[in-house]
Amino acid sequence: MKGIYTALITPFAEDKIDIKAWHKILDFQKKNKVHGVVVGGTTGESPTLTDEELTVLISVALEYQSSDFKIVLGIGGNDTIRTSAKAQIILSKLKQKPDAIMSATPYYNKPHAAGIEAHFNHLAKTISPISLCLYNVPGRTGVHLEPESFARIIAQNSNCNTLKEASGNLQTTTDFIQVSKQFKDVNILSGDDPLFIPGLICGCQGIISVSSNMIPHILRAVWDAFESKDFDKLNQFHLSLFKFHQVLFCAPNPIPVKWLMEKQGLCHAEYRLPLMTLEASLHSKVMNAWQEVQNIGISSIP
């Protein structure tokens, strides 16, 4: 995995999956040439999705799968056996397989490094030969994947070749990048939109992004500037996008981005408890940041 991947929201209508909006969202992403999407991540409110709903979401997404538009399925949990069984059950129901499965470190249990390693080793073997994208997000899970653990996991599992790194710390990101250089074709993807461009400079090979739910075309332009080594343009993008990236996290994700997507006619701003709608006091803050992004002047394909 490398390039621009969108961590998709899940559209709801009257507490059910909004299939019409789901198609619209997938169309929007593919037309704007991101490299792939993640279905059923935390941006997609995965803790509130049933296995049946997740199966429907991934089945529809796989209709859009191609060599230049990859589909990644999010499956995580803090019970190793149940997480692996869930992956097996959902995969068995699919007519075609996703390009990868993304899974975060087990949350709440706070396992030691050896426990995290055993968890990912078990899951990797369960889903093989499908690729496993590990996800380090200590702010949500309460545990940190150590770079040394990452090295041991990928050394033992040929289908572990990607890490979504969302610690919010460039030193940690750099540590993972240095470890990845010991292996062939192992990529570190940024999991923090505000640090995306600094991450690219440090050696990341892309991003799994929340912002690209709204601005896939702009993030693809960032990637193209990176590929062409246009560092002046990258600096301009970083300064122009930084506020927007930050504002999308002024309330728990995906509340702000889903609220904006409703304004663009992509979906309803409907959430499942315990998430609730964007507070009125934040409306102008989010909208102003969105309007500033329009000044970048890169048009999306509707």
Which candidate in 30, 135, 258, 271 is catalytic?
135
pLDDT of residue 221 exceeding 90: yes
Which runs of consecutive H residues, i.e. helices, occur in 228-279? 231-247, 255-263
Rg of the chain (C-alpha set): 18
| CB-CB contact of 143 with 134 (8 Å) | no
| Residue 265: other Cβ atoms inside 10 A | 9
The two structure tokens encoding residue 83: 């997480």
pLDDT of residue 301: 85
Catalytic residue among 70, 164, 258, 271: 164
> How does pLDDT run across 235-260, given as a tens digit for each residue?
999 999 999 999 999 999 999 999 99
Domains in the chain, please, with CATH?
3-296 (3.20.20.70)
What is the 3-state composition of the chain as percent helix, strand, coil, each rounded to the nearest 5? 50, 15, 35
Q: What is the pTM of this model?
A: 0.95
Check: CB of residue 244 under 8 Å from CB of residue 289. Answer: yes
* Cα distance between residue 278 and residue 276, in whole Å: 7
Q: Is 271 tagged catalytic?
A: no
Per-residue pLDDT tens for 248-300? Answer: 999 999 999 999 999 999 999 999 999 999 999 999 999 999 999 998 988 88
